[in-house]
Structure 1
Amino acid sequence: MTWHTQPMAAFDIESTGLDMASDRIVTAALWRIDPTHRTKDVTTWLIDPGIEIPQAAADIHGITTDHARQHGRPAAEAVPEIGAALEKTAVDGLPVVIYNAPYDLGMLSAELERHGCGVRFDGLLRVLDPLVLDKHVDRFRRGGRKLIDVCAHHGVPLESDQAHGAAADALAAARLAWKLAATHPELAETGIDDLHTAQVAWKAEQSASFQAYLRRKDPDAVVDGSWPLAPGP
């Protein structure tokens, strides 16, 4: 049996921004999906990040500072719980689908460090990143590579009013990973450990190529190729 017909997890976060040194997680979702039995269960977190949520971020994911303060859990409670839940998926042997994994895992790692938890899942997770996979199998395709764009290209449902909700994005990423494997046997037939290792190299190659492109105009442009975890702040 190929990996896309086996149980898997899917993870996504939304945050106050993109700076791992200063921004915070606002929402997170972790799915456990069993394609054989057609079951899927999700755990979600709404967090009071302890800082203001910029309007630009609230416009994307829909969570305002007031809403997070009123309904969210303290970050010191929720962040370790997210880390433990993700760690458990790895211990249970489930690969985890994460679209643009370095952002989500990097942000979570910074938050775990901030709350004195360390990075307990580093080196333990086996990650499937549909962004890396899609670029590998269709390197020169024109158009955006945001999750909603890639889902639209492959016929994976993700409505614009649902995009940037952690649960909707994580589930869409899982469906996208399944679709890529179903249409590209070379992906489906590669074992999870080997595919994880391959993505490390593919991400590095993709980043080097993009960096070379940018340096045509900016000789100092740098594109980090770390995967699946971005460097810490």
Structure 2
Amino acid sequence: MREIVLDTETTGLDPLRGDRLVEIGCVEIFNRMPTGQTFHRYINPQREMSKEAFDVHGLSTEFLADKPVFSAIAEEFLEFVGEAPLVIHNASFDIGFINAELERTARTPIPRERLVDTLLLARRKHPGVSNRLDDLCSRYAIDNSHRTKHGALLDAELLAEVYIDLIGARQSQLILAERVEIRVGTQADAPRRQRMEPLLPRLSESELAAHQAFVATLGDKALWGEYA
């Protein structure tokens, strides 16, 4: 099954108040394993960056000034995600911004039925504790030491690793690999079992005599003559 792990960065917290997307990062996974295929774009939000948002991701108004606007990358983005489920941490935040941008370009919003919210999954599996992405990386021993600031592609890559552990897919793969190794090893290395006593012959004396008489009619050069 194909899934897309997705993360965004924005100019603020509320698309209804004019905040815009500034970065999208996507990681493709197939049968719960990253394929190496990614989608990553910076986006010109056509507005000033708030100080609070800049402190989070470090993307300045000046840096984004020459980047494409969302309408220029919308089709490429939609083509990459296709109809796959979207795996997002705190999905309502990201999809709110994505759908606001799609609506601005007269495109169909992404339905919420396609979303897999890893924050909700984490809260069910680890209730009563913090389930931020950094916390989950620490919990599952995923190296995030290079994450000094938020970044859409980096966070999507980390989330893909977290998601695989969160749903137990990595453990299942290890168990399967172990079973395959044991099964192959048994076939290749196990000694053949020998019967304590040989089986009794299943042919009667008359059947053996009839067979030998038939083989005799095949001539001395017949292959069966070597086994008569």
Length-normalised TM-score, structure 2: 0.66
Q: Note the alpha carbon deviations across 1:52-110, whole angstroms, 9 max, x for none.
A: 1112211211210000003x112221245434433x1x2xxx43211111111111001
In structure 2, the partner of 1:113 is 103
Describe the SS at the equivalent of 1:31.
strand
Correspondence 1:68 to 2:61: no
- Among 1, 9, 15, the residue aligned to 2:10: 15
Aligned residue number for residue 167 of structure 2: 181
| Distance in 1, Cα, partners of 2:139 & 2:72 | 39
Residue 122 (str. 1) matches residue 111 (str. 2):
yes
Corresponding letter in the other structure for 2:157:
L
Name the counterpart of 1:135: 123
Distance in 1 separating the partners of 2:112 and 2:133: 25
Deviations 1:171-222 (A, max 9, x none): 111111110122899xxxxxxxxxxxxxxxxxxxxxxxxxxxxxxxxxxxxx
1:24 is matched with 20
How far did residue 8 of structure 1 move? Answer: 2.7
Deviation at 1:123, TM superposition (A): 5.3
Equivalent residue, structure 2, for 1:223: none
Mapped to 2, the partners of 1:66 and 1:30 lie a distance apart of: 24
Contact 1:26/1:68 (8 A) holds in 2: yes
Indicate the percent of aligned positions where both proteins have the same amino acid: 26
Are the aligned partners of 1:97 and 1:129 in contact in 2 as well (CA < 8 Å)?
yes
Query: Of residues 50, 55, 58 in structure 2, which corresponds to 1:54?
Result: 50
Q: Is the 8 A contact 2:34 2:160 kept in 1?
A: no
1:18 and 1:78 mapped to 2: Cα distance?
22
RMSD: 2.6
Aligned amino acid, residue 145 of structure 1: N
CA distance in 2, matches of 1:28, 1:173: 14
How far residue 36 of structure 1 moved from its aligned partner, in angstroms, is 7.6
The one of 131, 138, 162 equivalent to 1:152 is 138
Instruction: Determine helix, strand or coil for the equivalent of 2:131.
Output: coil
CA distance in 2, matches of 1:74, 1:184: 38
- Measure, in 2, the Cα distance between the counterparts of 1:147 and 1:106: 19
In the other structure, the counterpart of 1:43 is 39
Note the 1:75-224 alignment, pairs <5 A.
75-86=70-81, 88=82, 90=83, 94-119=84-109, 121-122=110-111, 125=114, 127-141=115-129, 144-159=130-145, 161-182=147-168
* CA distance in structure 1 between the aligned counterparts of 2:146 and 2:11, rounded to whole angstroms: 20
Determine the C-alpha separation between the residues in 2 that align with 1:116 and 1:148: 36
Q: More relative contact order in 1 or in 2 (CA 8 Å, sep 6+)?
A: 1
Counterpart AA for 1:118: T
Code of the aligned partner of 1:131: L
Q: How many pairs align?
A: 171
Instruction: Give the structure with higher Rg (CA).
Output: 2
- Alignment gaps of 5+ in structure 2: 172-228
Please tell me the residue identity of whatever aligns with 1:57. A
